Amino acid sequence: MKKILYKIVRKLGKVGLLNWVSDKKYLNFLFKLKFGKNIDFENPSTFSEKLQWLKIYDRKDIYTKMVDKYEVKKYVKEKIGEEYIIPTLGIYNNFDEINFDELPNQFVIKCTHDSGGLVICKDKTKFDKVKAKRKINKCLKMKYYDTYREWPYKNVEPRIIIEEYLEDIEDHELRDYKLFCFNGNYKMMYIASNRQGVGDTYFDFFDRNFEHLPFTNGHPNAPVMPHKPNNYAKMIELAEELSKNIPHVRVDFYDVNGKIYFGEMTFFHMSGLVPFEPRNWDEKIGEWLKLPK
């Protein structure tokens, strides 16, 4: 029953029908349905609880720029250099502005203001523009903030960004390397694999020494252990530079044919609403996150 109610509340929130409910009450309701308890805003202890606390109390204007998939590139360029940025092929206010004749055979279309608004074109001669337009237009209408009250997304301008298509020769896909940083200190990462393949997407977590961590978080571990990225040490260095003076942020990179590319910055991993299994890892990771006063 709780699972069904959670889905209903999330769906109502997504379309803006619960905007009259305060962020704090809305988040507490979702959290209680998922974890079976209220959020302890006075003394949060788990990673999941502390992410909800940060949604309410840690609100800085720069965070909006850092989650905007176009504007963040300027931030990253200033911090670590332009060589780590995926080339932008175009930025548009609506789908009809796109001149596909000017695009290469392969490219990626994203929305600047959300998560999941993604269309990959591997062969322009077979590209379904009608289907792509339908998905992108739907995403443009959505206000990502409404679903999970992740404040940094509230004021991001919905736009379309097109980037170069990347694929690693060794893995035959674009693997995400997602580094969890706490006040500029890298603690763990997870690798998302089989994202475009058949069946499950796999999440595998590793500590700083690249030892596999014994838990799952919303997705199963991969049947074949992902290999250590070739530029792992450099990724850590870059992630720690980008995350300085931020209580917590996840910095995502790609390692493509020996070159590092920045992916995105995420302040609320899985919005803090997907349990870790076993649950005691929520407490362990929560110890790394020191909340600001």
Where among 121, 137, 165 does a domain terminate?
A: 165
Q: How far is 96 from 99, CA to CA, in rounded Å?
A: 8
Where among 165, 191, 214 does a domain terminate?
A: 165
Are 61 and 193 within one domain?
A: yes
Mean residue pLDDT across the chain:
93
Q: Could you tell me which residue, 229 or 172, shows the higher pLDDT?
A: 229
Are 175 and 266 within one domain?
A: yes
Region of 229 (left: φ > 0; alpha: ψ -120 to 50; beta: rest) is: beta
| DSSP 8-state secondary structure symbol assigned to residue 220 | P
Are 184 and 287 within one domain?
A: yes
Are 260 and 122 within one domain?
A: no
Query: What is the pLDDT, as a whole number, of residue 257?
Result: 87
Tens digits of residue pLDDT in 113-159: 987 778 999 999 999 999 999 999 999 988 889 999 999 999 999 99
Query: What is the pLDDT, as a whole number, of residue 169?
Result: 75
The two structure tokens encoding residue 19: 């905007």
Are 30 and 45 within one domain?
A: no
Res 198 pLDDT > 90: no
Are 172 and 215 within one domain?
A: yes
Strand blocks (E) in 55-143: 88-92, 107-111, 118-121
Domain of residue 27, residue span: 1-37
Query: What is the pLDDT, as a whole number, of residue 53?
Result: 98
Please state the pTM of the whole predicted model.
Answer: 0.93
Tens digits of residue pLDDT in 45-75: 999 999 999 999 999 999 999 999 999 999 9
Query: Rounded mean pLDDT of 219-236?
Result: 92
| Contact call for residues 56 and 65 (beta carbons, < 8 A) | no
Are 213 and 229 within one domain?
A: yes
| Distance (Å) of CA 124 to CA 98, 103, 159, 286 | 14, 9, 22, 45
Res 41 pLDDT > 70: yes
Are 154 and 106 within one domain?
A: yes
Where among 132, 165, 198 does a domain terminate?
A: 165
Q: How far is residue 158 CA from its own chain's centroid?
A: 16
Confidence grade of residue 31 (pLDDT, cut at 50, 70, 90)? very high
Residue from 115, 109, 155 nearest 270 by CA: 115
Q: How far is residue 12 CA from its own chain's centroid?
A: 22
Are 205 and 243 within one domain?
A: yes
Q: Are strands 202-207 and 185-193 parallel, antiparallel or unpaired?
A: antiparallel
Are 152 and 173 within one domain?
A: no
183 burial type by CB count under 10 A (0-12 exposed, 13-18 middle, 19+ buried): middle
Length of the chain: 293
**Tally of domains in the chain:** 3
Tens digits of residue pLDDT in 165-195: 988 777 666 778 999 999 999 999 999 888 7
Are 153 and 185 within one domain?
A: no
Q: How far is 255 from 264, CA to CA, in rounded Å?
A: 14
Are 175 and 211 within one domain?
A: yes
The two structure tokens encoding residue 275: 């349990």
Res 197 pLDDT > 70: no
CATH of the domain at 251: 3.30.470
